[in-house]
Structure 1
Amino acid sequence: MAPPYLQFPVPYLKIDLDEQSLEVPGTKRAGQTAHYRNASLPFVGLDSPGTVKNLQEVFENGLYYGGPDAPCLGQRTLISKEPLRWADSLEWQSYGTVDARRRAIGSGIYKLFRDGVVGGGTLQTVGIWSRNVANWQLIDLSLHLFNLVNVALYDTLGRDSVEHVINHAETSIVFASTQNIPTLLQLSHRTPCLKVIVVIEELEEEAKCILTMWARSHNVKLMEFSEIEALGQAHPCKPLPASSDAIATICYTSGTTGVPKGVVLTQGSLAIGAHALLYGGKFDGEPVVEFSYLPLAHIFERVVQLSVFVSGGSVGFGTGDPLRLIEDMQLVKPTILVSVPRVMNRIVAAAMAASKAPGLKGTLFNYALATKLANFRKNGETKHVLWDRLIFSKIQAILGGKLKMLGLGSAPMHPVGLEFLKISLGCQVIEGYGSTENCGAGGRAVAFDPTSAGTVGPPGISMEWKLVNVPALDYSSEDKPNPRGEICTRGATQFTGYFKDETNTKAAIDKEGWFHTGDVGELDSKGRFKIIDRVKNIMKLAQGEYVAVERIETMYSASPVVAQLYVHGDSLQSYLVAVLVPDPVQLASIASIVLKARVVPDDHGRLGQAIADPQVVDALFTELAKEGNKNDLKGYEHIVPVYPTVRSQARRFEKIKRIHVTLDLCTVEEGTLTPTLKIRRKDAYNKWKGAIDAMYKLPEPTTRALL
């Protein structure tokens, strides 16, 4: 067998926590900072030695390290529908099995294109519309062999967006889960390019007959997954030569507003992205196992799994049921997990309940917590022989008990919660920053940096960053003590442009190849970046003051009382309002104190009664206000400049002045959250329009509301 392209693990060459970014000499110009690169390794690009350069090499590298008998893809299978019952273990496929199957599946798909059964578009695109399952990855791995282009449809992207993506990418074949096939057939008269639908799961005979006839009536061919594989086995095709420049995917951004844009990513950029995520990983000889939880249609989860494959690791897929998430995780026992703060905050809140336990139990927990926090803040150490065994092993067991690395993204996590995760899980807990446009591998904090909370660390090893002035928001590369400005990125993981969208491509990528992210960053004295604002999503209040509602949401959401928060501004109004979905544990505690009666977090009816009480709402508002004051958000106590040309640091009217409290969460299923759990602003507004209008109909709040 050929030697590996990439050695594993990828170590730090050096790391100085006081100098995590290096300035590229001679790059400082007026209106922007110098270019900055990661200080721990030389810049890694496609021409760097010892790295994977395309997605065929990614799998070959893992096959070499793991060997043909090593587990590759695991699936928890459904045993029965009535009663609903899942297997209590995973069914694993080895690297050798996956290698043979990807060649067969790829040959089958490639033959359909070669014979003219599918195709005819600008690119040879293949759609996948399913939750995370092992077959999703089998399809994607097969596409890499024949330079076919993956067009992932979000399982909850919404009917209109699905139609747009299929037509825009000219997708003639879609692999879909059974539940999505009726929607595809209903849309078929508006998606004339769609010729073949392949069912990802095994179909029962009756369902197969019905769906086949329905598809035939719409001039669409319905095939089963096994048919594609059998076709490839009967007509094996030689894989095409591997290429870094081959387009691997058009990844449509989920978007909080507007129509999704198709981000074009090459095999080279994804391969380097997988390499970048591996560097500095420390697994102490444990096999690399990832639990597939975030949507595979989102680029970051895909790149994480590529990083697992390149190292010979395995990926486990659960039931897809959010109520069985912890149960799935405990069966997979991952060493790598990628999650979002919203989920981890729930685990932190549940675990921290032990600090309030009466007697010796609560005393021991708090002493153990204080000891581990002191050690971490002193030297970055997250383990403790005694307290991990006696106290924190129970928290670690919730996530399977073997976790070595937890990656967090999508939104910042409160520093208190982040520190608690680090010392309670005793593993690398890393906040990262990226976007679809840079394969989710923009940058990440150093795992053992005890003061990294609130930052996203230095640029990734394959990226360079700079900050560009944003005059409209008073951010400048000359700001003291730290330069501030819009984050611009450039590097090996970057996209080539938006598919069939020259206007947005030119707006996003300048002539020097810099991608303008729309995020405002600050560079600290240790060479770490912090996300502090957004260039977009700025709106003007009635008195002429500009506010950045997403930034304000992020700051207020650090409060423990927040499960979800939607901040709204109206250009005809002079103040902001918000819709708060409180954390049930925090709500129960506050309601018990205010109402002088015991309220428990799982009593939904009693919680509903509590949020209808004005005193409880006031108490929740007070907790939110503490977070606003802590972040120095500006309100009416500041003076508005008389002349619009006079700038003032107090120009923003950022404090929330009224809240509507509800237990009705935004969800991906209803379309008010993106698949990466960000609020879709337009849809959230429509959901709560009545409550928002009612708040604005009331008399303008007094200054007291700002305290």
Structure 2
Amino acid sequence: MSITRVSDLLGLYMNRYRKADVFAARREGQWTCCSSDDFVRFANEISLGLLALGVRKGDKLGIMSPNRPEWNFVDFGAMQIGAVTVPLYPTMSAHDLEYVLKDAEIKVLFIGGAELYEKTNSLQDAVPGISLFSFEQVEGVRSWEDVKNMGKGKDAAAIEPIRLAQQPDDLLTLIYTSGTTGNPKGVMLTHRNIISNMLSCEPLLPESLRKALSFLPLCHIFERMVSYLYLYKGISIYYAESIESIASDIKEVQPDVFTTVPRLLEKVYDKIVAKGGDLSGIKKVLFYWALGLGLQYDPGKAGNAWYRLRLRLANRLIFSKWRAALGGNIKVIVSGGAALQPRLTRVFNAANIPVVQGYGLTETSPVIAVNFLGRGNHKLGSVGRPVEGTEVKIAPDGEILCRGENVMMGYFKRPDATASEIDEDGWFHTGDIGRLDGDGFLFITGRKKELFKTAGGKYVSPPVIENKFKESPFIEYMVVVGENRRFPAALIVPSFTFLREWCVRKEIPWSSNEEMMKHPQVLERYRQETEKFNQLFGQWEQVKRIALIPKEWSVDSGELTPKLDVKRKVVLEKHAKEIEELYEI
């Protein structure tokens, strides 16, 4: 059965798979499953209920909630009648939320629960006329089930002609990029954009996959497109209860697949290594022997017979415990959103926990390139080959350009911004700097807008340096500065959890972050970390001085986007004093 609209997935699922656990979520300590029959029925009832509310084709419907099955019921209910879903990050600032509600002209907004009601309730006067519904019981707010009940008992056949009237190039969703500067921009994605990208990524998931664990936000196009792909492949989706519960949820669900961001894998790796360091005797020797073998692994090469023999033994003695901690069934983990450190790719793949890295943007639905499973399809340090149907070329200045059916319609109400990003020949300008090697693999080497030139006339790419330094368990965030200065320097936000544990082990007294980071042993440790990573860069790129920031950066305090990317401009403004002090002599 071919599909041209995302809503076609409903019929395809009923024809191919029909199962008891299309979706599952933990409620009151128990996993509650939603069957394929429930999924279709709820989506239809939402469609009919929205029609009863007066929602029509092209109207905007917002969803602001953590991941849960109801997210999908509303999403599919809206798309069947041609309404446009606008996903909103639960962590979005009140300012950005007000801007998006107004800019998108949202008519109906579904929120997660009481906490988000507090955020949206304060905007009722600023954005009048919005119909508000909650997935959880909130006093004074109508339930999402009220919309469902409006459609209950009505003839679902009435939806089909409306659904079939939707065209592949109709607007499906409007996704506001979190952006590190200025107001968010609404990215317009069509059914064709997402379907083409979904089908291009299908070979990434082996046929044997049964369960997926989902914890990346559905309001991000990466997790949303992959969720559509899970449905296309008949893979059940289990939603993690929270970020804090992921470890226990993985053990319970025993998923075959999940998507993640590099930072989570870094924390898993750091935790494993920390536990290995606490071992003693032969167990500790074997742990570091296995880890050393893993750090030599290249998923694109077989290795010699002697290496393969030792690795099989390491898998039996050590890495089997890693797999058990991840549920024991992992067949692929897909990492996106930021650069994945090569050491993580090496170690996890060596442990028979296949990790692949991809690359893309919201504007490209999102995947441009990805490393597929299998020897010859994966190259260490790259983000893979461009997916089928997507052209990639490198502009004379090194910028990565992309063209294909996955490229957005444009920015909502922003023809000027659209024209500046998509040229007359249809090439989307990603803003990233990269190269294609002789085998067609794409390598990302920097961000065009973030390159700066030192006073000596040398170009420096901060993201490359920052990503390498963040391999250190001592570093949570880092911003390299130095434009028109004599040398690069850096602001560093420590990984406070790790640093506190380290201070306890070293018997370093402290009563506050500020006191801890002024201790001579702590300062010396960060100096050593800086010296170690500096050796990987040219003299002109090396970080000569650092400033430790005692306060964690967050979305609420303004330094991070909802995707947890650093807002470089905000950081530079907030820490202007510390930056100036770095260059005082």
Whether TM-score is above 0.5 comes out as: yes
2:12 to 54, 61, 84: 61
Q: Does 1:263 align with 2:187?
A: yes
Conserved 8 A contact 1:428-1:448: no
Look up the match of 2:48.
107
Tell me the amino acid that sits aligned with residue 379 of structure 1: A
Count of residue pairs brought into register by the alignment: 572
Q: Could you say which structure has the larger radius of gyration?
A: 1
Cα displacement string for residues 569-607 of structure 1 (whole angstroms, at most 9, x for unaligned residues): 465x44433222334687579768xxxx7359xx98598
Look up the match of 2:490.
578
Tell me the amino acid that sits aligned with residue 488 of structure 2: L
In 1, the alpha carbon distance for the partners of 2:510 and 2:527 equals: 20
Q: Over aligned residues, Cα RMSD in angstroms?
A: 2.9
Tell me the amino acid that sits aligned with residue 682 of structure 1: K
Conserved 8 A contact 2:209-2:235: no
Aligned-residue offset at 1:299: 0.6
Tell me the amino acid that sits aligned with residue 446 of structure 1: F
In 2, the alpha carbon distance for the partners of 1:159 and 1:412 equals: 29
Q: Assess, with a 3 A threshold, how the Cα gap between structure 1 residues 195 and 382 changes in structure 2: closer, same or farther.
A: farther
In 2, the alpha carbon distance for the partners of 1:382 and 1:354 equals: 25
Aligned-residue offset at 1:232: 1.0
Aligned-residue offset at 1:681: 1.7
Conserved 8 A contact 1:555-1:631: no
Q: Does 1:516 align with 2:424?
A: no
Structure 1 stretch displaced more, 269-278 or 618-627: 618-627
Aligned-residue offset at 1:390: 3.4
Aligned-residue offset at 1:333: 2.2
Conserved 8 A contact 2:297-2:350: no
Aligned-residue offset at 1:371: 5.3
Look up the match of 1:294.
216
In 2, the alpha carbon distance for the partners of 1:422 and 1:625 equals: 29
Look up the match of 1:463.
390
Q: Does 1:433 align with 2:359?
A: yes
Look up the match of 1:452.
379
Q: Does 1:341 align with 2:268?
A: no
Conserved 8 A contact 2:62-2:110: yes
Look up the match of 1:224.
143
Aligned-residue offset at 1:515: 0.3
Q: Assess, with a 3 A threshold, how the Cα gap between structure 1 residues 298 and 375 changes in structure 2: closer, same or farther.
A: closer
DSSP-derived class of the 1:526 partner: coil
Look up the match of 1:128.
63
In 2, the alpha carbon distance for the partners of 1:155 and 1:383 equals: 47
Conserved 8 A contact 2:341-2:468: no
DSSP-derived class of the 1:238 partner: helix
Conserved 8 A contact 1:247-1:264: yes
Question: Which runs of no fewer than 5 residues in structure 2 stay unpaired?
Answer: none
Cα displacement string for residues 83-115 of structure 1 (whole angstroms, at most 9, x for unaligned residues): xxxx0x31110111111110001111122125x
| TM-score, normalised via structure 1 length | 0.75
Look up the match of 1:180.
116
1:328 to 218, 226, 249: 249
DSSP-derived class of the 1:188 partner: coil
Conserved 8 A contact 2:297-2:346: no
Cα displacement string for residues 108-144 of structure 1 (whole angstroms, at most 9, x for unaligned residues): 1122125xxxx7xx93110111111221111112122
In 2, the alpha carbon distance for the partners of 1:369 and 1:319 equals: 31
2:542 to 633, 644, 655: 655
Aligned-residue offset at 1:448: 3.4
In 2, the alpha carbon distance for the partners of 1:430 and 1:326 equals: 20
Aligned-residue offset at 1:530: 0.3
Q: Assess, with a 3 A threshold, how the Cα gap between structure 1 residues 455 and 604 changes in structure 2: closer, same or farther.
A: farther
Q: Which residues of 2 match residues 591-670 of structure 1 at below 5 A? A: 598-599=506-507, 609-632=515-538, 634-635=539-540, 654-662=541-549, 664-670=551-557
In 2, the alpha carbon distance for the partners of 1:329 and 1:687 equals: 38
Tell me the amino acid that sits aligned with residue 54 of structure 2: F
Structure 1 stretch displaced more, 298-307 or 575-584: 575-584
In 1, the alpha carbon distance for the partners of 2:296 and 2:94 equals: 51
Conserved 8 A contact 1:589-1:599: no
Q: Does 1:379 align with 2:302?
A: yes
Q: Assess, with a 3 A threshold, how the Cα gap between structure 1 residues 598 and 560 changes in structure 2: closer, same or farther.
A: closer
2:132 to 189, 194, 197: 197
In 1, the alpha carbon distance for the partners of 2:479 and 2:267 equals: 19
Conserved 8 A contact 2:203-2:372: no
Look up the match of 1:42.
none
Q: Does 1:243 align with 2:243?
A: no
Conserved 8 A contact 1:519-1:533: yes
Question: Which runs of no fewer than 5 residues in structure 1 stay unpaired?
Answer: 6-51, 80-86, 212-221, 471-484, 636-653, 700-707
Conserved 8 A contact 1:58-1:271: no
Aligned-residue offset at 1:389: 4.4
2:86 to 151, 161, 168: 151
Look up the match of 2:74.
139
Cα displacement string for residues 329-374 of structure 1 (whole angstroms, at most 9, x for unaligned residues): 3233221111111111111112123554331102222344455666
